[in-house]
Chains A and B, each alone.
Chain A
């Protein structure tokens, strides 16, 4: 019996203590008409040898292609120590630290995480994680509507340069609460929100969402945009890449007042690509907004001896206390990924993360140079970028990606589904893990396919 330790003797003795004839008798309060033990559609169990053989086969089938896709998930190096420690049973098999005295390891780590994220984004406070970047933006939108006391509006400005799937997820999560998402278009030459295109009087709006870098990898004029939004009574929600934060101006320093809420996808900080999850979302904000934050928050306090300790705090915001009046329904979040991220940031350090960010940028510049030399490939958008770039190619993107997949290259993200005006365009990325040989291999393969 997999993972069940009972001997026949145990079962006999336990049933005798209970005073039941059989295990089936323990289900005697359930209406007999509901008992249904037919699991015929589920295969017979496998032992560890057989499941290992099966999983090896499945994993080998997918292989380890050369990856040049970004689009919200990035192929970074993860130090071996990160997951060695993260998967220690004490982290891996613990739960939400409800019993603080028996969870000081997780709690202190989360407090350190909150500190690291606050410093990376230059914000006052951080929570202990949300599900992912997309749902994080949705939570930020809800939070901004609650928190903006100057505005009665439920309108949010959501630029089209924000990840298209983030925009879809925000819509799924907020639409039933009467929140209106107003799209902002982008400049076709620059691939960014041109501040000159913004209306002087946008009306009453609760918040503006500003990505940095944006979905195309392009840098937005964050200072101007932040001031524009603040001058019109909006809160500013920054959506940032955490790796980029080691290099780029942090949201806490945007414009005159800094962003109010910062969210983003935490995956670049130590989470493997792994088919899209589990990753984690992060959220930081100004001190004044902390009581409107969703999710777990850890505070430092003292025990009865005056010794430092850590505990879940501000729980009066949360569903298990406030029920229908909670700031969110979130309960279980992404603790283990935050464990990995905290260890990742500690091992890379300030210097290491900055070098990673610069190396990604440098490799993407190399990739741009290399691909630009192919006939029929043209770089689009003339603005500064971080570690992604957009190319127009002289063949249908979808078929091209499929052909390159057959050569074991994950070659990029096709933009035309989300942006009809960007037909035949491809979004690519080169992280610090790609080298010149990888770039050459990609260039030659693409040139062959297009030839």
Chain B
């Protein structure tokens, strides 16, 4: 049932109501709404019960193992939320005087410093509101850098064929053409193809390392040399940073601009599709172009500043900035949750993130292999994730990756990422994360093995899954062909 179907005309929540007087002509009639907006009219209890019961139709990290590759679905510590929701943080208006925000800004400054240390970059701005916006900021900075040198011939961004879809989409938003380069069968990028692709037209390359194939590209230093020698810059998509946190720093690999998905590596909630946060880090030469605002720390007597200890940098102080990406200062409350998480982990805890996410992935990979599954890159170590390819199962049993994914739901596991990266047929991208115990991994491995047996003995059982969820398989074709995006009880309202 939809909330609108619980609605009854005239039902009013007095506890949430104010008592304004009449408008007294202060707003002329022509500006006013003629018919009341059709919002639900339900009691508070009805709303609470409705949305509580909707929540129970979701899989989530708090309720289910969620090995969604490339998304780093690790535990979101509860205290990161409760502390970020202290009244002093929630009440702060973003435009209030900086003297009323020193507590918050101090946390932000410390987070910037910690991210610099963890990534080996020279400076960090936390303005971008999600990974894709971080990518945008990164590529826009690369463009601003070339423009500042009057190097206008650089019109291309190189993107590997295994890249996230956001990479090519971002390059286009920044006004670049995309040149795709292939990946070799061992999972590393084809260096010869890269050498051929670079030239005076190369603005830069966008890379994820570990790559979306779940392996660490062993030639990263050579790639960095090839691109830099051609005058291009390197952009690091931080989607997979969890795998190497505390082990390898993107700055050491030669990257000029990076983004970090705090909702992945720093465990802020995924929220059913956001909010994320995508801070960017840069090498020395890109510092002037960082998006604003970001926090600076005034040493005691620096009179050029506002006088407060922590201060947000603006256009005035950063004349070459690529500019602003949000109305205020990005997803501030998300940044606060990441700060709390980072302080709780500390330097020892951060190192363990990379180590244990890698341990869990390699263990799961080896065990699935023992159970007859094909690992896409059979000779490689897993990083924090790895790929199972079901192309044999699809051929021999007529059961594909999506069928496996749906059947896993019946066993109480969220499905891994399916059909990504696009270059591996019938793939499941599996990322267990470091916060899962061996018992859970064993249960997942056993469920995968069971489904494989089911697929051999009774493929229809798998092909029609799921059975135990609030709905069975949905008709996506109908959803796209007969668009129903808005509830319209009166058919005459249909456009």
Contacts and interface: CB of A to CB of B under 8 A. Distances in A.
A227 interface: no
A132 B274 CA distance: 12
A277 B366 contact: no
Given A51-B79, A60-B88, A5 B363 contact: no
B332 A42 contact: no
B11 A349 contact: yes
B71 interface: yes
B472 A384 contact: no
Tell which of B171, B325, B464 has the most Cβ of chain A within 10 Å.
B325
A378 interface: no
A295 B356 CA distance: 34
Interface string B103-132: 110110000011011101000000001111
Interface in B121-160: 129-133, 135-136, 140, 143
A437 interface: no
A307 B18 CA distance: 40
A30 B38 CA distance: 58
A277 B130 contact: no
B63 A90 contact: yes
B55 A88 contact: yes
A28 B380 CA distance: 10
B129 A93 contact: no
A118 B37 CA distance: 9
A4 B334 CA distance: 22
B430 interface: no
B221 interface: yes
A79 B44 contact: yes
Given A120-B39, A169-B323, A99 B480 contact: no
A173 interface: yes
Say which size band chain A's interface belongs to.
Answer: 35 or more
A42 B275 contact: no
Nearest to B114: A42
Interface in B453-492: 464, 466, 469-476, 478-480, 482-487
A326 B169 contact: yes
A150 interface: no
Contacts of A321: 165
Contacts of A15: 359
Given A349-B13, A362-B21, A365-B26, A52 B363 contact: no
A430 to B, nearest CB: 12
Nearest to A59: B88
A95 B270 contact: yes
Contacts of A118: 486
B424 interface: no
Nearest to A315: B480
A233 interface: no
Interface stretch (A194-202, A203-211, A335-343, A438-446): A335-343
Contacts of B52: 85, 88
26 contacts: A14-B363, A18-B359, A23-B359, A29-B216, A36-B120, A36-B247, A39-B118, A42-B342, A43-B346, A59-B88, A67-B93, A92-B269, A99-B405, A108-B54, A115-B2, A119-B38, A126-B486, A129-B273, A133-B327, A290-B485, A310-B474, A316-B480, A346-B40, A346-B47, A350-B37, A405-B97
Given A59-B88, A169-B327, A408-B100, 15 more contacts: A3-B345, A14-B360, A23-B356, A45-B345, A72-B328, A89-B63, A90-B56, A104-B58, A112-B487, A276-B327, A278-B332, A287-B495, A323-B169, A336-B269, A351-B36
